[in-house]
Amino acid sequence: MPDPVSRTILLLDIEKYSDRDDVEQTYLRRVLYDITDRALEHAGIDETLRLRADRGDSVMELIDANASVARLLRALLTEVPAQLHGYNRIASSSARIRLRGVVSTGYVAVDEHDGWVGSDLNHACRLLDARLLREALRERASGFALCVSEGVHAGIVRHDHHGIPAADFHPVTLTGKNGSLTAWLHGPAPEGAATPETAGLRTAAPVTATETPTAPAAPAAPPNAAPVRPPTPAPGPVFNFGSGSPRFGGGLVAGDQHGVSGGQVTGDVHLGGTVGEEA
């Protein structure tokens, strides 16, 4: 398998393509190619910087990672709606074209049979086929619904570059056959659409530095209960030294000692050192 290469992934798909007859499908495919080429040329991405795969009702472009993603997004947001308007205003109802689009990034390998392989590409295709994006297109008067991946939003969109208003993109959760995906939809989401918050994907807010955990309250005493007195500590040992000269820390304790833990000590007691040693 060849090594995967970093690419920008562009996918465009025709709405209700299979509802048309062969003549209409042929026309729609020509229009799709024309719109795609004009948008990429407008973004400064010529044919030497991209690979194309035909999927019948859709087109897939692998674009060189050094090409500007910001210019591509600006072209998609301006040039594609303008091209769609120009075609649709003179086309019959059966020949009008509406498009779903996805922009993503990732690693894709192209094998010896010109097949494209990569989980990032699969992820982009799942975004394109998601029901939410289809529903969003039905509400777009422009005839174009665009979705971008988390990576494209984090790297480009959220920085509010010229011609790419960050406020126009909204987080959504798209459901596909392999589970939920988070992405960013250009324009308002369809009513009732899932968001990362409603889908339970938001993480818990961290505790601020001013918040202090509160210790649990002590259980209440039963009524008429006798007061609980704290226990009286036991007395320590009592030393009563008689005659003699006690010494500590290497000295000598001499003489008879009484009252040591209730007993009696007689004779000489040495605590370190030797008898007769000077202090």
What is the dihedral sign for C-alpha 269, 271, 277, 279? Answer: negative
Gap between the terminal Cα atoms of the chain: 89
List pLDDT tens digits, range 162-186.
Answer: 999 999 999 999 876 777 889 999 9
Tracing tokens 């030294």 back to the chain, one arrives at 241
Phi, psi (degrees; rounded to nearest 5) at 40: -70, -40
pLDDT band (50, 70, 90) for residue 2: confident
Q: Are strands 144-148 and 99-110 parallel, antiparallel or unpaired?
A: parallel
Query: Would you state the pLDDT for residue 261?
Result: 44
Query: Would you state the pLDDT for residue 66?
Result: 95
Q: What six digits make up the tokens of 52? A: 């194309």
How many residues can be counted in the chain? 279
The full set of domains in the chain, from first to last, is 5-186 (3.30.70.1230), 240-270 (no CATH)
Query: Would you state the pLDDT for residue 248?
Result: 42
Does residue 145 carry a pLDDT above 80? yes
DSSP single-letter state for residue 194 = -
Does residue 152 carry a pLDDT above 70? yes
DSSP single-letter state for residue 111 = -
Alpha helices in 43-130 (DSSP H): 69-88, 119-129
Nearest to 182 by CA among 127, 142, 233: 127
> In whole angstroms, what is the distance from residue 143 CA to residue 16 CA?
12
Q: What six digits make up the tokens of 9? A: 């992934």
Range of lowest pLDDT (49-58, 211-220, 221-230): 211-220
Q: Are strands 169-176 and 179-186 parallel, antiparallel or unpaired?
A: antiparallel
Instruction: Give the DSSP H/E element, type plus range, for residue 257.
Output: strand 257-260
Share of the chain above pLDDT 70, in %: 68
List pLDDT tens digits, range 57-105.
Answer: 899 999 999 999 999 999 999 999 999 999 999 998 889 999 999 999 9
Rounded to 10 degrees, what is the CA torsion of 53, 121, 14, 186?
A: -140
Query: Would you state the pLDDT for residue 268?
Result: 54
Partner residues linked to 100 by β-bridges? 13, 145
> In whole angstroms, what is the distance from residue 120 CA to residue 122 CA?
5
Q: Are strands 269-270 and 263-265 parallel, antiparallel or unpaired?
A: unpaired
List pLDDT tens digits, range 244-270.
Answer: 544 444 444 444 444 444 445 455 544
Residue 243 near residue 211 (C-beta atoms within 8 A): no
